[in-house]
Amino acid sequence: MRETQKPSLPVTSESVTAVLKRVIAENGRDHLRGYIFAIACLATVALTTAFSAWIMETVINEAFANKRADLVWIICLSIFIAFSLRGLASYGQAVALSKIGNNIVARYQKRLFNHLMTLSMGYFNEARSAHLAAQISQNVNGIRDVLNLTVTSTARDLLSLIGLIFVMISKDWILTLIVFVVAPPVLYSLRYISRRLRKATTDSVLLNSRVLGAMQESIQGIAVVKAFTMEGELAQKVERIIDSAENRANRIARLSERTSPITESFAGLAISAVIAYAAWRSIAGGMLPGAFFSFITALLMAYEPAKRLAKLQIQMERAVVNARMIYAILDTQPHQRDKPGAHELQVREARIELKNVHFAYGTGPEILKGIDIVAEGGKTTALVGPSGAGKSTIITLIPRFYDPPQGQILIDGQDIADVTKASLRRHIAYVSQQPYLFEGTIRDNIRYGRPEATDAEIEEAAKLAYAHDFIMAQPQGYETPVGENGLTLSGGQRQRLSIARALVRNAPILLLDEATSALDTESEAAVQKALDEAMSGRTVVVIAHRLSTVVKADKIVVMQEGRVVEEGSHQELATRPEGLYARLNNLQATVRKDQ
Protein backbone atom coordinates (compact mmCIF):
# COMPACT_ATOMS: atom_id res chain seq x y z
CA MET A 1 0.00 0.00 0.00
CA ARG A 2 1.83 3.06 -1.21
CA GLU A 3 1.41 6.72 -0.44
CA THR A 4 0.39 8.76 -3.45
CA GLN A 5 2.64 11.66 -4.25
CA LYS A 6 2.08 14.63 -6.51
CA PRO A 7 4.66 14.88 -9.29
CA SER A 8 7.64 16.96 -8.25
CA LEU A 9 8.21 20.27 -9.96
CA PRO A 10 9.99 19.97 -13.32
CA VAL A 11 13.62 20.96 -13.34
CA THR A 12 13.27 24.05 -15.51
CA SER A 13 13.68 27.80 -15.04
CA GLU A 14 9.89 28.03 -14.61
CA SER A 15 10.11 25.68 -11.63
CA VAL A 16 12.09 28.33 -9.72
CA THR A 17 9.25 30.79 -10.30
CA ALA A 18 6.67 28.20 -9.28
CA VAL A 19 8.50 27.39 -6.03
CA LEU A 20 8.99 31.11 -5.33
CA LYS A 21 5.27 31.81 -5.80
CA ARG A 22 4.37 28.96 -3.47
CA VAL A 23 6.80 30.06 -0.76
CA ILE A 24 5.52 33.65 -0.93
CA ALA A 25 1.88 32.50 -0.89
CA GLU A 26 2.49 30.37 2.21
CA ASN A 27 4.63 32.82 4.17
CA GLY A 28 4.35 36.34 2.74
CA ARG A 29 1.16 37.44 4.47
CA ASP A 30 2.19 36.19 7.93
CA HIS A 31 5.44 38.18 7.80
CA LEU A 32 4.25 41.16 5.77
CA ARG A 33 5.13 43.78 8.42
CA GLY A 34 8.55 42.30 9.00
CA TYR A 35 9.30 42.24 5.29
CA ILE A 36 8.07 45.82 4.82
CA PHE A 37 10.42 46.94 7.60
CA ALA A 38 13.32 44.95 6.12
CA ILE A 39 12.63 46.31 2.62
CA ALA A 40 12.55 49.86 3.99
CA CYS A 41 15.92 49.27 5.64
CA LEU A 42 17.35 47.72 2.48
CA ALA A 43 16.04 50.65 0.42
CA THR A 44 17.80 52.99 2.84
CA VAL A 45 21.02 51.06 2.31
CA ALA A 46 20.56 51.34 -1.47
CA LEU A 47 19.83 55.08 -1.38
CA THR A 48 22.74 55.93 0.93
CA THR A 49 25.04 53.86 -1.30
CA ALA A 50 23.94 55.80 -4.37
CA PHE A 51 24.28 59.08 -2.44
CA SER A 52 27.88 58.23 -1.49
CA ALA A 53 28.76 57.89 -5.17
CA TRP A 54 26.76 60.95 -6.25
CA ILE A 55 28.41 63.31 -3.75
CA MET A 56 31.92 62.43 -4.95
CA GLU A 57 31.69 65.04 -7.76
CA THR A 58 31.02 67.74 -5.19
CA VAL A 59 33.86 66.47 -3.00
CA ILE A 60 36.40 66.53 -5.85
CA ASN A 61 35.32 69.72 -7.60
CA GLU A 62 34.32 71.94 -4.67
CA ALA A 63 36.64 70.74 -1.91
CA PHE A 64 39.78 70.09 -3.93
CA ALA A 65 39.54 71.83 -7.33
CA ASN A 66 37.62 75.01 -6.33
CA LYS A 67 38.80 74.89 -2.67
CA ARG A 68 35.42 75.86 -1.16
CA ALA A 69 36.25 75.62 2.55
CA ASP A 70 32.74 76.75 3.52
CA LEU A 71 31.24 73.62 1.92
CA VAL A 72 33.65 71.09 3.42
CA TRP A 73 31.84 70.73 6.76
CA ILE A 74 28.47 70.32 5.00
CA ILE A 75 29.94 67.62 2.74
CA CYS A 76 31.56 65.80 5.69
CA LEU A 77 28.38 65.95 7.80
CA SER A 78 26.22 64.62 4.97
CA ILE A 79 28.65 61.73 4.38
CA PHE A 80 28.66 60.91 8.12
CA ILE A 81 24.85 60.93 8.25
CA ALA A 82 24.63 58.74 5.14
CA PHE A 83 27.03 56.13 6.52
CA SER A 84 25.35 56.15 9.94
CA LEU A 85 21.94 55.60 8.35
CA ARG A 86 23.41 52.84 6.23
CA GLY A 87 24.83 51.10 9.31
CA LEU A 88 21.57 51.30 11.26
CA ALA A 89 19.55 50.14 8.25
CA SER A 90 21.92 47.21 7.67
CA TYR A 91 21.53 46.17 11.31
CA GLY A 92 17.74 46.49 11.17
CA GLN A 93 17.30 44.42 8.00
CA ALA A 94 19.72 41.73 9.18
CA VAL A 95 17.89 41.25 12.49
CA ALA A 96 14.44 41.40 10.87
CA LEU A 97 15.28 38.87 8.15
CA SER A 98 17.00 36.54 10.61
CA LYS A 99 13.96 36.61 12.90
CA ILE A 100 11.60 35.93 9.99
CA GLY A 101 13.89 33.21 8.62
CA ASN A 102 14.14 31.45 11.96
CA ASN A 103 10.36 31.51 12.31
CA ILE A 104 9.89 30.07 8.82
CA VAL A 105 12.34 27.24 9.54
CA ALA A 106 10.57 26.47 12.83
CA ARG A 107 7.14 26.51 11.15
CA TYR A 108 8.22 24.13 8.41
CA GLN A 109 9.89 21.80 10.89
CA LYS A 110 6.61 21.61 12.82
CA ARG A 111 4.63 21.24 9.62
CA LEU A 112 6.89 18.47 8.35
CA PHE A 113 6.66 16.54 11.61
CA ASN A 114 2.88 16.86 11.78
CA HIS A 115 2.56 15.79 8.14
CA LEU A 116 4.87 12.80 8.60
CA MET A 117 2.70 11.67 11.51
CA THR A 118 -0.30 11.50 9.14
CA LEU A 119 1.44 9.14 6.69
CA SER A 120 0.93 5.41 6.90
CA MET A 121 3.42 2.74 7.88
CA GLY A 122 3.86 1.90 4.19
CA TYR A 123 5.51 5.27 3.55
CA PHE A 124 8.10 4.75 6.26
CA ASN A 125 8.78 1.21 5.09
CA GLU A 126 9.77 2.62 1.70
CA ALA A 127 11.52 5.79 2.93
CA ARG A 128 14.51 4.93 5.13
CA SER A 129 14.19 6.90 8.35
CA ALA A 130 17.87 7.87 8.61
CA HIS A 131 17.93 9.24 5.05
CA LEU A 132 14.60 10.99 5.58
CA ALA A 133 15.80 12.72 8.77
CA ALA A 134 19.08 13.77 7.14
CA GLN A 135 17.29 15.08 4.05
CA ILE A 136 14.85 17.13 6.14
CA SER A 137 17.63 18.64 8.28
CA GLN A 138 19.59 19.66 5.18
CA ASN A 139 16.74 21.00 3.08
CA VAL A 140 14.42 22.84 5.46
CA ASN A 141 16.57 26.00 5.27
CA GLY A 142 15.90 26.16 1.53
CA ILE A 143 12.44 27.70 2.13
CA ARG A 144 13.97 30.51 4.18
CA ASP A 145 16.77 31.09 1.68
CA VAL A 146 14.35 31.42 -1.23
CA LEU A 147 12.56 34.32 0.48
CA ASN A 148 15.64 36.00 1.92
CA LEU A 149 17.46 35.88 -1.41
CA THR A 150 14.42 37.39 -3.13
CA VAL A 151 14.01 40.21 -0.61
CA THR A 152 17.69 41.15 -0.27
CA SER A 153 18.33 40.91 -4.01
CA THR A 154 15.30 43.01 -4.91
CA ALA A 155 15.30 45.60 -2.14
CA ARG A 156 19.04 46.03 -1.61
CA ASP A 157 21.02 44.87 -4.61
CA LEU A 158 18.57 45.80 -7.36
CA LEU A 159 17.71 49.19 -5.82
CA SER A 160 21.40 49.91 -5.17
CA LEU A 161 22.25 49.01 -8.74
CA ILE A 162 19.43 51.14 -10.16
CA GLY A 163 20.44 54.09 -7.97
CA LEU A 164 24.09 53.80 -8.95
CA ILE A 165 23.25 53.41 -12.64
CA PHE A 166 21.17 56.59 -12.36
CA VAL A 167 24.22 58.36 -10.87
CA MET A 168 26.41 56.99 -13.68
CA ILE A 169 23.98 58.16 -16.39
CA SER A 170 23.61 61.59 -14.77
CA LYS A 171 27.38 62.00 -14.72
CA ASP A 172 28.22 60.61 -18.16
CA TRP A 173 25.89 58.61 -20.38
CA ILE A 174 28.60 57.65 -22.86
CA LEU A 175 30.70 55.99 -20.15
CA THR A 176 27.58 54.20 -18.94
CA LEU A 177 26.99 52.84 -22.44
CA ILE A 178 30.54 51.44 -22.51
CA VAL A 179 29.86 49.55 -19.29
CA PHE A 180 26.65 47.99 -20.59
CA VAL A 181 28.33 46.63 -23.71
CA VAL A 182 29.90 43.84 -21.61
CA ALA A 183 26.69 42.88 -19.74
CA PRO A 184 25.08 40.45 -22.26
CA PRO A 185 28.03 38.02 -22.48
CA VAL A 186 28.27 37.92 -18.67
CA LEU A 187 24.56 37.13 -18.28
CA TYR A 188 24.72 34.43 -20.95
CA SER A 189 27.71 32.77 -19.26
CA LEU A 190 26.00 32.79 -15.86
CA ARG A 191 22.81 31.32 -17.28
CA TYR A 192 24.80 28.46 -18.81
CA ILE A 193 26.53 27.78 -15.48
CA SER A 194 23.24 27.79 -13.52
CA ARG A 195 21.76 25.12 -15.79
CA ARG A 196 24.75 22.83 -15.17
CA LEU A 197 24.68 23.57 -11.46
CA ARG A 198 21.04 22.50 -11.03
CA LYS A 199 21.59 18.76 -11.39
CA ALA A 200 24.87 18.83 -9.47
CA THR A 201 23.11 20.46 -6.50
CA THR A 202 20.32 17.86 -6.49
CA ASP A 203 22.85 15.02 -6.56
CA SER A 204 24.84 16.65 -3.77
CA VAL A 205 21.83 16.90 -1.46
CA LEU A 206 20.96 13.24 -2.01
CA LEU A 207 24.57 12.10 -1.45
CA ASN A 208 24.89 14.14 1.75
CA SER A 209 21.65 12.63 3.06
CA ARG A 210 23.11 9.17 2.37
CA VAL A 211 26.27 10.10 4.29
CA LEU A 212 24.33 11.28 7.35
CA GLY A 213 21.93 8.35 7.04
CA ALA A 214 24.75 5.79 6.94
CA MET A 215 26.41 7.36 9.99
CA GLN A 216 23.14 7.46 11.93
CA GLU A 217 22.35 3.82 11.13
CA SER A 218 25.85 2.73 12.15
CA ILE A 219 25.58 4.55 15.48
CA GLN A 220 22.12 3.13 16.18
CA GLY A 221 23.32 -0.38 15.40
CA ILE A 222 26.71 -0.03 17.06
CA ALA A 223 26.25 -3.20 19.14
CA VAL A 224 25.67 -5.29 16.01
CA VAL A 225 28.53 -3.53 14.24
CA LYS A 226 30.98 -4.44 16.97
CA ALA A 227 29.59 -7.92 17.56
CA PHE A 228 30.07 -8.88 13.91
CA THR A 229 33.30 -6.83 13.48
CA MET A 230 31.66 -4.85 10.70
CA GLU A 231 33.73 -1.72 11.35
CA GLY A 232 35.96 -2.21 8.32
CA GLU A 233 33.17 -2.96 5.84
CA LEU A 234 31.01 -0.10 7.07
CA ALA A 235 33.98 2.27 7.03
CA GLN A 236 34.65 1.39 3.39
CA LYS A 237 30.97 1.85 2.52
CA VAL A 238 30.77 5.24 4.24
CA GLU A 239 34.09 6.33 2.73
CA ARG A 240 32.82 5.57 -0.78
CA ILE A 241 29.69 7.64 -0.18
CA ILE A 242 31.72 10.47 1.37
CA ASP A 243 34.14 10.43 -1.57
CA SER A 244 31.21 10.70 -3.97
CA ALA A 245 29.75 13.56 -1.94
CA GLU A 246 33.14 15.29 -1.84
CA ASN A 247 33.55 14.99 -5.62
CA ARG A 248 30.06 16.37 -6.16
CA ALA A 249 30.73 19.24 -3.73
CA ASN A 250 33.98 20.01 -5.57
CA ARG A 251 32.08 20.09 -8.85
CA ILE A 252 29.55 22.50 -7.34
CA ALA A 253 32.40 24.68 -6.06
CA ARG A 254 34.02 24.73 -9.52
CA LEU A 255 30.75 25.64 -11.19
CA SER A 256 29.73 28.22 -8.57
CA GLU A 257 33.09 29.94 -8.41
CA ARG A 258 33.45 29.93 -12.19
CA THR A 259 31.37 33.10 -12.05
CA SER A 260 34.24 34.97 -10.39
CA PRO A 261 36.78 34.90 -13.25
CA ILE A 262 34.00 35.64 -15.74
CA THR A 263 32.61 38.64 -13.87
CA GLU A 264 36.03 39.92 -12.78
CA SER A 265 37.43 39.74 -16.31
CA PHE A 266 34.50 41.56 -17.89
CA ALA A 267 34.45 44.08 -15.03
CA GLY A 268 38.14 44.75 -15.54
CA LEU A 269 37.55 45.23 -19.25
CA ALA A 270 34.69 47.67 -18.63
CA ILE A 271 36.59 49.70 -16.02
CA SER A 272 39.72 49.83 -18.19
CA ALA A 273 37.70 51.09 -21.15
CA VAL A 274 35.98 53.70 -18.97
CA ILE A 275 39.27 54.98 -17.52
CA ALA A 276 40.91 55.12 -20.96
CA TYR A 277 38.02 57.10 -22.47
CA ALA A 278 37.71 59.44 -19.44
CA ALA A 279 41.45 60.06 -19.35
CA TRP A 280 41.47 60.92 -23.07
CA ARG A 281 38.59 63.37 -22.59
CA SER A 282 40.24 64.98 -19.56
CA ILE A 283 43.59 65.35 -21.32
CA ALA A 284 42.14 66.50 -24.65
CA GLY A 285 39.19 68.52 -23.37
CA GLY A 286 40.46 69.84 -20.03
CA MET A 287 37.33 68.75 -18.15
CA LEU A 288 37.19 68.82 -14.34
CA PRO A 289 37.72 65.33 -12.82
CA GLY A 290 34.79 65.50 -10.38
CA ALA A 291 32.20 63.97 -12.68
CA PHE A 292 34.61 61.17 -13.62
CA PHE A 293 35.44 60.39 -9.99
CA SER A 294 31.75 60.34 -9.14
CA PHE A 295 31.13 58.03 -12.11
CA ILE A 296 33.99 55.66 -11.28
CA THR A 297 32.89 55.56 -7.62
CA ALA A 298 29.37 54.65 -8.70
CA LEU A 299 30.77 52.04 -11.08
CA LEU A 300 32.96 50.43 -8.42
CA MET A 301 30.18 50.50 -5.85
CA ALA A 302 27.77 49.00 -8.40
CA TYR A 303 30.12 46.11 -8.98
CA GLU A 304 29.25 44.21 -5.77
CA PRO A 305 25.43 44.38 -6.08
CA ALA A 306 25.75 43.58 -9.79
CA LYS A 307 27.91 40.56 -8.99
CA ARG A 308 25.43 39.39 -6.33
CA LEU A 309 22.55 39.80 -8.76
CA ALA A 310 24.53 37.90 -11.39
CA LYS A 311 24.97 35.03 -8.93
CA LEU A 312 21.34 35.21 -7.81
CA GLN A 313 20.08 32.62 -10.27
CA ILE A 314 22.80 30.18 -9.20
CA GLN A 315 22.07 30.74 -5.50
CA MET A 316 18.34 30.56 -6.13
CA GLU A 317 18.74 27.27 -8.00
CA ARG A 318 20.47 25.74 -4.98
CA ALA A 319 17.85 27.06 -2.55
CA VAL A 320 14.98 25.91 -4.77
CA VAL A 321 16.45 22.40 -5.04
CA ASN A 322 16.29 22.19 -1.23
CA ALA A 323 12.80 23.73 -1.07
CA ARG A 324 11.51 21.42 -3.81
CA MET A 325 12.60 18.35 -1.80
CA ILE A 326 10.76 19.62 1.28
CA TYR A 327 7.62 20.19 -0.79
CA ALA A 328 7.95 16.69 -2.26
CA ILE A 329 7.48 15.38 1.30
CA LEU A 330 4.69 17.83 2.16
CA ASP A 331 2.87 16.98 -1.08
CA THR A 332 2.84 13.27 -0.27
CA GLN A 333 -0.83 12.47 0.19
CA PRO A 334 -1.75 10.29 3.19
CA HIS A 335 -3.09 6.99 1.90
CA GLN A 336 -5.15 6.24 5.01
CA ARG A 337 -7.25 9.34 5.31
CA ASP A 338 -10.49 9.11 7.24
CA LYS A 339 -13.40 8.67 4.90
CA PRO A 340 -15.75 11.66 4.47
CA GLY A 341 -18.32 11.35 7.20
CA ALA A 342 -16.25 8.85 9.22
CA HIS A 343 -17.80 8.41 12.66
CA GLU A 344 -16.41 7.72 16.11
CA LEU A 345 -15.96 4.08 17.05
CA GLN A 346 -18.48 2.99 19.70
CA VAL A 347 -17.14 0.07 21.71
CA ARG A 348 -19.47 -2.15 23.72
CA GLU A 349 -18.19 -5.74 23.86
CA ALA A 350 -15.02 -5.03 21.84
CA ARG A 351 -15.70 -8.01 19.59
CA ILE A 352 -13.22 -8.18 16.69
CA GLU A 353 -14.06 -9.97 13.46
CA LEU A 354 -11.94 -10.42 10.32
CA LYS A 355 -13.93 -11.38 7.19
CA ASN A 356 -12.16 -12.73 4.10
CA VAL A 357 -9.13 -10.48 4.67
CA HIS A 358 -6.41 -10.48 2.00
CA PHE A 359 -3.21 -8.46 2.32
CA ALA A 360 0.20 -7.96 0.70
CA TYR A 361 2.95 -5.44 1.46
CA GLY A 362 3.21 -3.21 -1.59
CA THR A 363 3.68 -5.30 -4.71
CA GLY A 364 5.04 -8.29 -2.77
CA PRO A 365 3.46 -11.71 -2.42
CA GLU A 366 0.14 -12.07 -0.62
CA ILE A 367 0.69 -12.50 3.13
CA LEU A 368 -2.94 -13.10 4.18
CA LYS A 369 -5.15 -15.25 1.95
CA GLY A 370 -8.80 -14.93 2.93
CA ILE A 371 -8.55 -14.81 6.73
CA ASP A 372 -11.73 -15.30 8.80
CA ILE A 373 -11.22 -14.88 12.56
CA VAL A 374 -13.48 -13.86 15.44
CA ALA A 375 -12.02 -12.57 18.71
CA GLU A 376 -14.87 -12.56 21.20
CA GLY A 377 -15.31 -9.52 23.42
CA GLY A 378 -13.69 -9.75 26.83
CA LYS A 379 -11.79 -12.91 25.92
CA THR A 380 -8.28 -13.83 24.84
CA THR A 381 -7.58 -15.01 21.31
CA ALA A 382 -4.10 -16.34 20.61
CA LEU A 383 -2.48 -16.47 17.18
CA VAL A 384 0.15 -19.18 16.80
CA GLY A 385 1.98 -20.81 13.93
CA PRO A 386 5.33 -20.88 12.15
CA SER A 387 7.24 -17.68 11.32
CA GLY A 388 5.86 -15.98 8.22
CA ALA A 389 2.34 -17.27 8.74
CA GLY A 390 0.91 -13.71 8.90
CA LYS A 391 0.30 -13.37 12.65
CA SER A 392 2.02 -10.01 13.10
CA THR A 393 0.35 -8.71 9.95
CA ILE A 394 -3.07 -9.28 11.55
CA ILE A 395 -1.94 -7.33 14.62
CA THR A 396 -0.93 -4.37 12.41
CA LEU A 397 -4.24 -4.40 10.50
CA ILE A 398 -6.48 -4.08 13.57
CA PRO A 399 -5.25 -0.54 14.51
CA ARG A 400 -5.14 0.33 10.77
CA PHE A 401 -1.39 0.64 10.39
CA TYR A 402 -2.27 -0.74 6.96
CA ASP A 403 -5.58 -1.22 5.12
CA PRO A 404 -6.41 -4.55 3.49
CA PRO A 405 -7.31 -4.28 -0.21
CA GLN A 406 -9.95 -6.96 0.22
CA GLY A 407 -12.11 -8.02 3.16
CA GLN A 408 -13.40 -6.33 6.31
CA ILE A 409 -12.28 -5.88 9.90
CA LEU A 410 -15.17 -5.22 12.26
CA ILE A 411 -15.27 -4.11 15.90
CA ASP A 412 -18.70 -4.61 17.43
CA GLY A 413 -20.08 -4.80 13.89
CA GLN A 414 -18.51 -1.50 12.80
CA ASP A 415 -16.12 -1.61 9.84
CA ILE A 416 -12.93 0.06 11.05
CA ALA A 417 -12.46 1.56 7.57
CA ASP A 418 -15.57 3.70 8.26
CA VAL A 419 -14.50 5.10 11.65
CA THR A 420 -11.88 7.72 12.46
CA LYS A 421 -8.42 6.36 13.09
CA ALA A 422 -8.09 8.47 16.25
CA SER A 423 -11.21 6.97 17.84
CA LEU A 424 -10.15 3.46 16.78
CA ARG A 425 -6.69 3.73 18.32
CA ARG A 426 -7.98 5.31 21.52
CA HIS A 427 -9.62 1.97 22.27
CA ILE A 428 -6.49 -0.09 21.61
CA ALA A 429 -3.37 -0.69 23.67
CA TYR A 430 -0.46 -2.17 21.75
CA VAL A 431 2.76 -3.91 22.79
CA SER A 432 5.06 -4.52 19.86
CA GLN A 433 7.55 -7.30 19.36
CA GLN A 434 10.40 -4.80 19.56
CA PRO A 435 9.87 -2.36 22.47
CA TYR A 436 10.75 1.25 21.73
CA LEU A 437 11.46 3.90 24.35
CA PHE A 438 11.60 7.61 23.63
CA GLU A 439 13.94 10.30 24.91
CA GLY A 440 12.96 11.27 28.44
CA THR A 441 12.45 9.64 31.82
CA ILE A 442 10.93 6.28 32.70
CA ARG A 443 7.81 8.08 33.93
CA ASP A 444 7.52 10.02 30.64
CA ASN A 445 7.71 6.80 28.61
CA ILE A 446 4.96 5.10 30.59
CA ARG A 447 2.81 8.25 30.44
CA TYR A 448 2.86 8.17 26.63
CA GLY A 449 0.20 5.46 26.97
CA ARG A 450 -2.19 8.05 28.40
CA PRO A 451 -0.89 11.64 28.77
CA GLU A 452 -3.47 12.54 31.43
CA ALA A 453 -2.52 9.58 33.67
CA THR A 454 -1.58 10.50 37.24
CA ASP A 455 1.70 9.50 38.87
CA ALA A 456 -0.19 6.99 41.00
CA GLU A 457 -1.70 5.37 37.88
CA ILE A 458 1.71 5.20 36.23
CA GLU A 459 3.23 3.49 39.24
CA GLU A 460 0.29 1.07 39.46
CA ALA A 461 0.77 0.12 35.80
CA ALA A 462 4.48 -0.41 36.44
CA LYS A 463 3.65 -2.71 39.35
CA LEU A 464 1.24 -4.71 37.20
CA ALA A 465 4.00 -5.07 34.61
CA TYR A 466 6.44 -6.13 37.35
CA ALA A 467 8.60 -3.11 36.51
CA HIS A 468 8.26 -1.14 39.74
CA ASP A 469 11.08 -2.91 41.60
CA PHE A 470 13.75 -2.44 38.95
CA ILE A 471 12.58 1.15 38.39
CA MET A 472 13.07 1.99 42.07
CA ALA A 473 16.52 0.43 41.86
CA GLN A 474 17.51 3.03 39.21
CA PRO A 475 19.53 6.10 40.35
CA GLN A 476 16.57 8.48 40.11
CA GLY A 477 13.68 6.01 40.22
CA TYR A 478 10.88 7.00 37.86
CA GLU A 479 12.76 10.17 36.91
CA THR A 480 15.73 8.23 35.50
CA PRO A 481 16.50 9.14 31.84
CA VAL A 482 16.27 6.03 29.67
CA GLY A 483 18.96 7.01 27.14
CA GLU A 484 18.58 6.57 23.38
CA ASN A 485 15.89 3.89 22.88
CA GLY A 486 16.46 2.74 26.46
CA LEU A 487 19.98 1.43 25.85
CA THR A 488 20.75 1.82 29.56
CA LEU A 489 18.11 -0.86 30.29
CA SER A 490 18.05 -4.56 29.52
CA GLY A 491 15.77 -5.97 26.82
CA GLY A 492 13.45 -7.44 29.44
CA GLN A 493 13.25 -4.13 31.31
CA ARG A 494 12.43 -2.25 28.13
CA GLN A 495 9.68 -4.73 27.34
CA ARG A 496 8.16 -4.42 30.80
CA LEU A 497 8.08 -0.62 30.43
CA SER A 498 6.39 -1.11 27.07
CA ILE A 499 3.80 -3.35 28.75
CA ALA A 500 3.29 -0.77 31.53
CA ARG A 501 2.70 1.87 28.84
CA ALA A 502 -0.02 -0.34 27.34
CA LEU A 503 -1.58 -1.05 30.73
CA VAL A 504 -1.82 2.60 31.74
CA ARG A 505 -3.83 3.26 28.59
CA ASN A 506 -6.67 1.18 30.12
CA ALA A 507 -8.14 0.38 26.68
CA PRO A 508 -10.81 -2.31 26.07
CA ILE A 509 -8.65 -3.97 23.36
CA LEU A 510 -5.14 -5.20 24.06
CA LEU A 511 -2.81 -6.31 21.25
CA LEU A 512 0.29 -8.25 22.29
CA ASP A 513 2.80 -9.05 19.55
CA GLU A 514 5.03 -11.60 21.30
CA ALA A 515 5.14 -9.26 24.29
CA THR A 516 7.20 -11.64 26.41
CA SER A 517 9.68 -12.70 23.71
CA ALA A 518 12.49 -10.52 25.11
CA LEU A 519 12.16 -11.76 28.70
CA ASP A 520 14.07 -14.44 30.54
CA THR A 521 12.14 -17.31 32.12
CA GLU A 522 11.77 -15.66 35.53
CA SER A 523 10.70 -12.29 34.12
CA GLU A 524 8.37 -13.97 31.65
CA ALA A 525 6.59 -15.80 34.45
CA ALA A 526 6.21 -12.56 36.43
CA VAL A 527 4.95 -10.55 33.47
CA GLN A 528 2.63 -13.36 32.42
CA LYS A 529 0.94 -13.12 35.82
CA ALA A 530 0.59 -9.37 35.31
CA LEU A 531 -0.79 -9.86 31.83
CA ASP A 532 -3.28 -12.42 33.12
CA GLU A 533 -4.64 -9.76 35.47
CA ALA A 534 -4.52 -7.04 32.80
CA MET A 535 -6.36 -9.26 30.30
CA SER A 536 -9.33 -9.69 32.59
CA GLY A 537 -12.41 -8.09 31.05
CA ARG A 538 -10.56 -7.02 27.91
CA THR A 539 -10.50 -8.32 24.36
CA VAL A 540 -6.96 -9.58 23.88
CA VAL A 541 -5.29 -10.68 20.67
CA VAL A 542 -1.91 -12.18 21.49
CA ILE A 543 0.85 -13.66 19.37
CA ALA A 544 3.17 -16.18 20.97
CA HIS A 545 5.82 -18.54 19.66
CA ARG A 546 6.08 -20.25 23.04
CA LEU A 547 2.80 -22.11 23.29
CA SER A 548 3.12 -22.41 27.06
CA THR A 549 2.18 -18.74 27.33
CA VAL A 550 -1.22 -19.18 25.62
CA VAL A 551 -2.43 -22.37 27.27
CA LYS A 552 -5.13 -20.40 29.14
CA ALA A 553 -6.32 -18.50 26.04
CA ASP A 554 -10.06 -18.77 25.37
CA LYS A 555 -9.37 -19.46 21.71
CA ILE A 556 -6.23 -20.42 19.82
CA VAL A 557 -6.07 -19.72 16.08
CA VAL A 558 -3.39 -21.72 14.26
CA MET A 559 -2.05 -20.11 11.07
CA GLN A 560 0.17 -21.38 8.29
CA GLU A 561 1.18 -19.63 5.05
CA GLY A 562 -1.41 -16.88 5.43
CA ARG A 563 -4.38 -19.12 6.19
CA VAL A 564 -6.23 -20.31 9.29
CA VAL A 565 -5.72 -24.07 9.55
CA GLU A 566 -7.08 -24.78 13.05
CA GLU A 567 -9.12 -23.18 15.82
CA GLY A 568 -10.00 -24.25 19.34
CA SER A 569 -8.79 -24.36 22.92
CA HIS A 570 -5.42 -25.69 23.96
CA GLN A 571 -6.99 -28.93 25.18
CA GLU A 572 -8.88 -29.47 21.91
CA LEU A 573 -5.96 -28.70 19.62
CA ALA A 574 -3.30 -30.53 21.63
CA THR A 575 -5.25 -33.81 21.36
CA ARG A 576 -5.53 -33.75 17.57
CA PRO A 577 -2.89 -36.25 16.52
CA GLU A 578 -2.42 -34.91 12.98
CA GLY A 579 -2.88 -31.23 13.80
CA LEU A 580 -0.21 -28.55 13.33
CA TYR A 581 -0.75 -27.20 16.85
CA ALA A 582 -0.22 -30.67 18.35
CA ARG A 583 3.05 -31.05 16.41
CA LEU A 584 4.30 -27.65 17.54
CA ASN A 585 3.25 -28.34 21.14
CA ASN A 586 4.98 -31.73 21.23
CA LEU A 587 8.11 -30.26 19.65
CA GLN A 588 8.34 -27.46 22.22
CA ALA A 589 7.64 -29.92 25.06
CA THR A 590 10.55 -32.07 23.85
CA VAL A 591 12.83 -29.02 23.74
CA ARG A 592 11.86 -28.04 27.29
CA LYS A 593 12.64 -31.55 28.55
CA ASP A 594 16.05 -31.49 26.86
CA GLN A 595 16.83 -28.21 28.57
Each residue's pLDDT tens digit, 368-422: 999 999 999 999 999 998 888 899 899 989 999 888 999 999 999 999 999 999 8
> For 91-114, what is each residue's pLDDT tens digit?
998 899 889 988 888 888 888 888
> For 488-500, what is each residue's pLDDT tens digit?
788 778 888 888 8
The reply to whether the predicted model has a pTM over 0.85 is no
Contacts of 336 (CB under 8 A, 6+ apart): 120, 400, 402, 403, 421
Average pLDDT over all residues of the chain: 80
Q: Are 557 and 567 in contact (CB under 8 A)?
A: yes
Q: Are 149 and 28 in contact (CB under 8 A)?
A: no
User: Cα dist. 559→173, 306, 564, 566, 585 in Å?
Assistant: 89, 73, 5, 7, 14
- DSSP lists the bridge partners of residue 343 as 419
Structure confidence at residue 143 (pLDDT): 82
- DSSP lists the bridge partners of residue 382 as 542, 556
Structure confidence at residue 386 (pLDDT): 87
- Which range has the top average pLDDT, 87-101, 222-236, 432-446? 87-101
> For 110-123, what is each residue's pLDDT tens digit?
888 888 888 877 77
Q: For the chain, report the end-to-end CA distance as a whole number of angstroms.
A: 44
- As a whole number, mean pLDDT of residues 310-334 equals 79
Structure confidence at residue 579 (pLDDT): 82
Structure confidence at residue 14 (pLDDT): 45
pLDDT-based confidence at residue 327 (cuts at 50, 70, 90): confident
Domains and CATH numbers, the chain: 7-333 (1.20.1560.10), 343-427+540-595 (3.40.50.300)
**More confident site: 297 or 505:** 505
Q: Are 467 and 530 in contact (CB under 8 A)?
A: no
| φ, ψ dihedrals at 369, nearest 5° | -125, 75
Structure confidence at residue 229 (pLDDT): 76
Q: Are 333 and 5 in contact (CB under 8 A)?
A: yes
> For 227-280, what is each residue's pLDDT tens digit?
767 788 788 888 888 888 788 778 877 776 676 677 667 767 776 777 777 677
